[in-house]
Amino acid sequence: MTRDGATSTDGGWFERRAAVARALLAGPVALLLAVLSMAAAPLVLPPGRGGVDHLVLPVVAFPLIWAAAVLYPVMTARPGRAAAAMGAILALELAIVMSALL
């Protein structure tokens, strides 16, 4: 019990599991998502007049994609939903990159 009489709960394994999931999603998974977004974007964007727009846009957008991928799992109340959304985006981008390589 705390000084004001309220019981203190540690949160238990569920909060620890959610914290670990958020850390993994906001760390290595977010970086992988941003890098795969940068790799897949030139394959789906049309080249511009100078022929480099499809290469410059992913490089410029990389920090924005990475920031969104880091903030979403940290700010959401449901890390499972963030994992599902990020997993679907990763699968789509991986399919785009692999189709270009094969």
Residue 22: pLDDT band (50, 70, 90) is: very high
DSSP string, 23-67: HHIIIIIHHHHHHHHHHHHHHHSPP-TTS-HHHHHHHHHHHHHHH
Tens of pLDDT, residue by residue over 24-69, are 999 999 999 999 999 998 888 888 788 777 778 888 899 999 999 9
Assign 7 a pLDDT band (cuts: 50, 70, 90): low
Q: What was the pLDDT predicted at 65? A: 94
Residue 50, token pair as written in the block: 């100078």
Q: What is the pLDDT of residues 90-99, one digit of tens each?
A: 999 999 999 9
Per-residue confidence (pLDDT) for residue 8, from 0 to 100: 53
